[in-house]
Amino acid sequence: MKEVEVKASTKSYTVYIGGGLLARAGERIRAIAPKAEKAAIITDDNVDVLYAESLMASLEKAGLTAVKFVLPHGEESKNGLGYLAIVSFLAESGLSRSDALVALGGGMVGDIAAFSAATYLRGINYIQMPTSLLAMVDSSVGGKTAIDLPAGKNLAGVFCQPDAVLCDMSTLESLPENVFRQGCAEVLKYGILDDAKFFDYLSEKGLGFDREYVIARCIEIKRNYVLADEFDTGIRRKLNLGHTFGHAVEKLSGYTLSHGESVAIGTAVAARAAAKMGYCSEMCAGKIETALKAFGLPTETNIKIDEAMPIMLSDKKRAGSLVNIIVPETIGSCAIVPMGVEQMKEFFSKGL
């Protein structure tokens, strides 16, 4: 078992990474929220049939009354209707401020459940129990909560750190291989951003990497960005590598491309553009693309720049007339480059 401490300015909590956490979740949640009498599990229909029963049993064993709300799986559920259904369920179930919510699932469940916990009664305790690789290494840590709006992804949300994150590695056994690979787009991101040795390790090992080591290392890197800039006004923006173009690809595909696949395409486009514009070497861009392909991730798109531009300009990372674009410089170092509309259009056109 590995533990990563996150001492954010608004809350300190521990991320636990190991096996058997699901069966012992009740005890931990009791310790984290000692006044809780009830715990609401929020999950999706795929994860529900696999893990909700054992989580429920563990909560009940620890003396908590457990209730459960199940969303249909997929990004389409991460919207206003899903959010209203969850908070209404919490109210109907009589959850009070001292009770707890447990987000059991991938990043979709984690984001909408956390937004519900952050806003229901102006905030109740919540615990992230990520069951996808992407949710373990990224979305469950750092306190970004969100739902999508028709205008774009993650456009409504608040910052609210969880009270704990329990990554039960054994849940990854049931994760479909393609979904695991999609999570690797965010794993590679940490190497490109911050740690060349880690990137080389991943490139060498491919999908056979040591899961506990890799997940803990990703969480440590993310934790460092979160502590340096909890509210995403500066250096934390680097975690958006591949996301500005990626979110446009994801939306234009009608969410048929997953978040991870879209980020992989966005990262490859940013790397190719960075090489052509002289921010990084051709070799650096080539290494990024080769690594993405080695994990079976897509690196090309037939989306046209004019289709992507309006979506990228409505991105929440925009500040006035400028959008902060994350640009690879070397493996292990990226820059934040504020770009105006024309510069951005030129940059991304070069990467397509």
* Sequence-distant (≥ 6) Cβ neighbours of residue 39 within 8 angstroms: 29, 59, 64, 65, 66, 67, 99, 100, 101, 102
Note whether 242 binds ligand NAD by CB under 6 A: no
Q: Which is nearer to ligand NAD, 78 or 238 (CB)?
A: 78
- Between β-strands 125-130 and 164-168, what pairing exists: parallel, antiparallel or unpaired? parallel
CB of 14 to ligand NAD, least distance (A): 18
244 sits near ligand NAD (criterion: CB under 6 A): no
User: What letter would DSSP give residue 60?
Assistant: H
User: Looking at 26, 82, 142, 332, which residue binds ligand NAD (CB under 6 A)?
Assistant: 142
Q: Please identify, among the stretches 26-34, 79-87, 118-126, 136-144, the one whose residues bind ligand NAD according to the rule CB under 6 A.
A: 136-144
Q: At what angle do helices 341-351 and 259-276 cross, to 10 degrees?
A: 100
CA 175 to each of CA 127, 130, 169, 247, 262: distance values in angstroms, whole numbers, following the listed order: 21, 11, 11, 23, 19
Under rule CB under 6 A, residue 171 binds ligand NAD: yes
CA distances from 26 to 40, 51, 120, 296 (A): 12, 14, 22, 37
The site map against ligand NAD for 48-87 (x = CB under 6 A) is --x----------------------xxx--x---------
Q: Which is nearer to ligand NAD, 103 or 284 (CB)?
A: 103
- Is residue 47 part of the contact set for ligand NAD (CB under 6 A)? yes
106-125 residues in contact with ligand NAD (CB under 6 A) are 106-109, 111
CB of 335 to ligand NAD, least distance (A): 21
Q: Does 134 bind ligand NAD (CB under 6 A)?
A: yes
Tokens (6 digits) for 203:
């490139």
Query: Tokens at residue 313, please?
Result: 């300009």
User: In the complex, what is the shortest distance from the CB of residue 333 to ligand NAD, in angstroms, rounded to a whole number?
Assistant: 21
